[in-house]
Structure 1
Amino acid sequence: MKQKLTKLFPALYRMRIIQLRLYRHFTNLNPALTYAKHRTQHTLPYTCKKHQSLLRRKLGSSDPILQENKITNLRLSVAKMDGIVIRPGETFSFWKLVGKTTSAKGYIEGLLLSQGGVKRGVGGGICQLGNLLFWMALHTPLQVVERHHHSFDPFPDDHRVLPFGSGASVFYNYIDLRIYNPTQTTFQFRLWLTEEHLKGSVHSNELIPHSYHVEERNHRFLEKDGRTYRENEIWRKVIDRRSGNTNREEKMLHNFSEVKYDLFSTT
């Protein structure tokens, strides 16, 4: 009902965004939170996880120029975040580092997913950076304390590498990706772009005792009330490095999203 009202009355949607952003600004003042803000170009010695994602993929019928624009936006965002160190007790916040993506800072129009559809907007496309960070964090003992996922699946799986639903949506500033360090180990994200990929790695100042394997389970498409939905679970195995034994298995995510494309046209 709320989404229908905001579509009918765009001013209500804009007012709601202002309200949510002001509330997040207020909650950011919480003195109990210590945000990660120190960056260094000296890479910590132990590599926990590396990953890369294609910069250009076929995304339905979307304008390919918007993907080129996305690359510009990613470069600007990566420059604000590469080398960030998350010390014990600190919280990584995507938006505390990137800040508001405005044209004055060089950001241009890219793809945005909003209100159940695909739109154009300044700074669009940097969710890809959130996806990369979230996936790497799942392979460490860091705790993801805030993560959002779109309620709809907008594009078919053309060159999709990671399981459906393993990304993280970001929208300034109240839809954030936040990662807390509950350990006594210091972690660091390194991020960069090549001609074809967005690349990243997460490092630590000491060897962590476990490795992590993340996998999809119980994936399915289903029909409900005349609409198509996609559902799955993301599980993580925590593996002892010395013995190779799996210490435990954890269900990290349950995803349920409306499919916005024609399944039959993608086969």
Structure 2
Amino acid sequence: MKNKLIYILIIFLALFVSCSIFEGEDHRTTGKDHEQKEDNNINIGSIFDGDLKINRSVTKGKGKDQKSGKIDEVEIGHFQTPLLDKSEPRVHNIKLAAKKLDQYKVDPGDEFSFNRVVGKRTSEKGYEEAPIIILESGSPENSEALGGGICQLSSTLYNAVLKANLKVTERHPHSKKVSYVDEGQDATIDFNRYDLKFINTRDKPITLKIRVKEDTVSVFIYENRLRENE
């Protein structure tokens, strides 16, 4: 009887120890699972954070495009006149003045002055004598003067300005019809006397671009628009 009780006690103790071992393993496994879940959560969180940072950096990248001043130039006005009189001094004068106007920017609200931008036409600046129209005793006469021919450039610009719907604040016609534009579409220039002026009435800067080719004089007016996010 005594031996039987000892045997039962041994079995009971063995069962108790086994249960404790399994329970410990269960706890350790659960602990590992919990740690793994925490690790997974951290990793997932890191991945999403990384994704968000990448998205933010992409957004910032687009922002940098804007801040760096990347723009699209949109044409708002263009006019072209035929270069009928191709005498060398005349074409030379037109090209010389065109260099002053080409790529010239006018900010919103600013007034453009042809004479101010181009400057006085002098021999020191390279201008040559070429045909002009003057009023002599109340009658228009053909003559020659330094910078002759650039009225074709100012007239071409005048019409491009009208196409762009900008506000013209000063403009003077020739005393007789010219050959390169219809009557009423010309704009004569004479330093300290006659000027061509206009105001950039748009809410964005504009840029002038001038092209003098073998047979034509062209003026393009572009509005500088901030590039939209793509």
With structure 2 as the length reference, what TM-score do the two structures score? 0.61
Q: Distance in 2 between matches of 1:199 and 1:188?
A: 14
Deviation at 1:81, TM superposition (A): 1.1
Tell me the residue number matched to 1:163. 182
Q: Distance in 1 between matches of 2:173 and 2:216?
A: 22
Conserved? CA contact 1:141–1:183, under 8 Å: no
Tell me the residue number matched to 1:197. 216
Tell me the residue number matched to 1:142. 166
Pairing 1:93-132 to 2, within 5 Å after superposition: 93-115=113-135, 116-132=140-156
Higher helix share: 2
Instruction: Report the number of matched residues.
Output: 153
Conserved? CA contact 1:43–1:190, under 8 Å: no
Tell me the residue number matched to 1:88. 108
Tell me the residue number matched to 1:45. 73
Over the matched positions of the two proteins, sequence identity in percent amounts to 30
Conserved? CA contact 1:111–1:118, under 8 Å: yes
What SS does structure 2 have at the residue aligned with 1:45?
strand
Q: Distance in 1 between matches of 2:211 and 2:71?
A: 13
Q: Distance in 2 between matches of 1:117 and 1:149?
A: 15
Q: Aligned Cα RMSD in Å?
A: 2.1
What SS does structure 1 have at the residue aligned with 2:124?
helix
Higher strand share: 1
Q: Distance in 2 between matches of 1:136 and 1:172?
A: 21
Pairing 1:211-250 to 2, within 5 Å after superposition: none
Tell me the residue number matched to 1:54. 82
Q: Distance in 2 between matches of 1:97 and 1:86?
A: 11
Tell me the residue number matched to 1:261. none
Deviation at 1:174, TM superposition (A): 2.3
| Greater RCO (CA < 8 Å, at least 6 residues apart) | 2
Deviation at 1:141, TM superposition (A): 2.9
Deviation at 1:56, TM superposition (A): 2.3
Q: Distance in 1 between matches of 2:119 and 2:166?
A: 23
Tell me the residue number matched to 1:186. 205
Question: What amino acid does structure 1 have at the position aligned with 2:93?
Answer: N
Conserved? CA contact 1:52–1:197, under 8 Å: yes
Question: What amino acid does structure 2 have at the position aligned with 1:200?
Answer: V
What SS does structure 1 have at the residue aligned with 2:76?
strand
Conserved? CA contact 2:71–2:225, under 8 Å: no
Tell me the residue number matched to 2:35. none
Tell me the residue number matched to 2:51. none
Deviation at 1:151, TM superposition (A): 2.9
1:5-48, Cα deviation, whole Å (9 max, x unpaired): xxxxxxxxxxxxxxxxxxxxxxxxxxxxxxxxxxxxx9951011
Question: What amino acid does structure 2 have at the position aligned with 1:87?
Answer: D
Give 5+ residue unaligned stretches, structure 2: 1-69
